[in-house]
């Protein structure tokens, strides 16, 4: 399964190679050109010569995780965090560097914790990755400074139509673009797979300057907080409720005209949809909105519970409906 392949690959910010290579391989037979720009973004164009409305699709290849910062003389690996909730770190298994060496992050045993340690979350500075080596020189044979440490989490189907994996944000967006570009469409569509979204939408800053499209659909995994004990107005999205359509977030205000277009397409094709009910977060859409003379954007996303964790989950129907919705939008507005 494509999504399994994509989420199993590691693509930490600046280390998106493994993901990029999969995308290249998947698309090779279905697009006119594949270009990789100086930042590492992959840009695939389908039906380059087609005339009329040109639609672009964007997703990011990178995922949150940790970065090797220092190796202590006794082999402990100090790390920095790329967007990982520090409350999740104790008892985490990680894969370090391109060799994917297994490491663990362990906390002080509960038996020996002081009262105040029991009542506060562990600071990143008191944690480290342990790969089983007790000498710096041994660690250095396997791990380099600046290497990534990715969540060690297997793609698993569970519950009612659910998937658990790491990096659903935003491999589910990558998978959506791949599915659309593989389908039989006569219009010009550009798929953009960006690097470094998680550390400040860096890849799309450059990709946006190279794009001339009439409209861009940004595809994301977004917060699903429809959890036990959380009030309905804080859910942001509901799993199984269909693709979430953005109205606004911290970095973009989406044009009402296009929001209405995508809703109309969903209604016409009986595809369930929901609004993304939060102003939090920001996406690559920000850069496309602001670059050059401005490209209007639509923001669509699959609700992901426990996003940015090793156990993010999604409902398969949300992904399937997102693919349907994007295809239907392209069919309706492409080429016109």
Contact positions toward another protein, by CB under 8 A? 85-88, 90-93, 101-113, 118-122, 126, 130-134, 138, 142, 153, 156, 158-162, 164, 223, 225-230, 234, 236, 278, 280-281, 305-311, 313
Q: How far is the CB of 127 from another protein (least distance, A)?
A: 8
220 Rama class: left (phi>0) / alpha (psi -120 to 50) / beta:
beta
CB-based contacts of 122, cutoff 8 Å, min separation 6 = 86, 89, 90, 107, 108
Q: How far is the CB of 30 from another protein (least distance, A)?
A: 32
Q: How far is the CB of 120 from another protein (least distance, A)?
A: 6
The C-alpha atoms of residue 191 and residue 59 are separated, in whole angstroms, by 8
Q: Where are the beta strands (DSSP E) in the chain?
A: 33-36, 42-46, 55-60, 65-71, 77-82, 92-96, 101-105, 148-151, 156-158, 162-165, 189-194, 215-223, 244-245, 274-275, 297-304, 312-315
Query: Quick one: 50 or 107, whose CB is closer to another protein?
Result: 107
Evaluate whether 103 touches 129 at the Cβ level (below 8 Å).
Answer: yes
Tell me which of 26, 197, 198, 220 is the catalytic residue: 197
Instruction: Tell how strand 92-96 and strand 148-151 pair up.
Output: antiparallel
Query: Quick one: 130 or 332, whose CB is closer to another protein?
Result: 130
The secondary structure of 109-174 as a DSSP string is PGGG--HHHHTSPPPGGG--BB-S--SHHHHHTT--TT-EEEE----EEETTTEEEES-HHHHHHH
Q: How far is the CB of 180 from another protein (least distance, A)?
A: 26
Q: How far is the CB of 174 from another protein (least distance, A)?
A: 22
Query: Quick one: 109 or 270, whose CB is closer to another protein?
Result: 109
Query: Quick one: 234 or 267, whose CB is closer to another protein?
Result: 234
Q: How far is the CB of 247 from another protein (least distance, A)?
A: 17
Strand order in the sheet with 65-71: 77-82, 65-71, 148-151, 92-96, 101-105
140 catalytic residue (yes or no): no
Report the run of H or E that residue 203 belongs to, with start and end. helix 203-209
Query: Quick one: 102 or 290, whose CB is closer to another protein?
Result: 102
Query: Quick one: 118 or 256, whose CB is closer to another protein?
Result: 118
Report the run of H or E that residue 3 belongs to, with start and end. helix 2-8
Catalytic positions, written as ranges: 197
């Amino acid at each position: 399964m494509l999504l399994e392949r994509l989420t199993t690959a590691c693509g930490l910010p600046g280390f998106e190679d493994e993901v990029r290579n999969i995308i290249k391989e998947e698309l090779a037979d279905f697009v006119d050109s594949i270009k990789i720009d100086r930042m590492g973004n992959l840009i695939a164009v389908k039906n380059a010569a087609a005339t009329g409305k040109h639609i672009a699709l964007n997703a990011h290849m990178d995922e949150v995780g940790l970065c090797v910062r220092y190796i202590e003389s006794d082999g402990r690996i100090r790390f920095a965090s790329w967007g990982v909730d520090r409350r999740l770190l104790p008892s985490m298994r990680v894969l370090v560097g391109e060799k994917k060496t297994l490491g663990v992050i362990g906390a002080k045993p509960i038996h020996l914790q002081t009262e105040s340690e029991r009542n506060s979350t562990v600071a990143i500075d008191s944690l480290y990755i342990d790969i089983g080596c007790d000498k710096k020189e041994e660690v250095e044979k396997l791990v380099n400074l600046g290497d990534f440490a990715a969540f060690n989490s297997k793609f698993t189907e569970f519950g009612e139509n659910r998937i658990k994996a790491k990096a659903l944000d935003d491999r589910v967006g990558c998978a959506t673009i791949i599915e659309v570009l593989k389908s039989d469409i006569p219009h010009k569509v550009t798929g953009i797979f960006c690097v470094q979204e998680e550390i400040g939408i860096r890849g799309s800053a450059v990709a946006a300057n190279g794009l001339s499209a009439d409209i861009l659909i940004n595809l994301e995994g977004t917060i699903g907080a429809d959890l036990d004990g959380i009030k309905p107005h804080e859910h942001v999205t509901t799993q199984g409720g269909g693709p979430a359509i953005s109205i606004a977030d911290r970095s973009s205000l989406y044009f009402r005209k296009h929001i209405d277009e995508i809703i109309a397409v969903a209604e016409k094709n009986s595809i369930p949809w929901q609004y993304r009910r939060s102003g939090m977060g920001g996406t690559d859409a920000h850069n496309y909105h602001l670059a050059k003379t401005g490209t209007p954007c639509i923001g669509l996303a699959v609700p992901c519970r426990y996003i940015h964790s090793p156990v993010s989950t999604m409902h398969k129907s949300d992904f399937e409906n997102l693919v349907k919705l994007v295809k239907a939008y392209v069919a309706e507005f492409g080429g016109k």
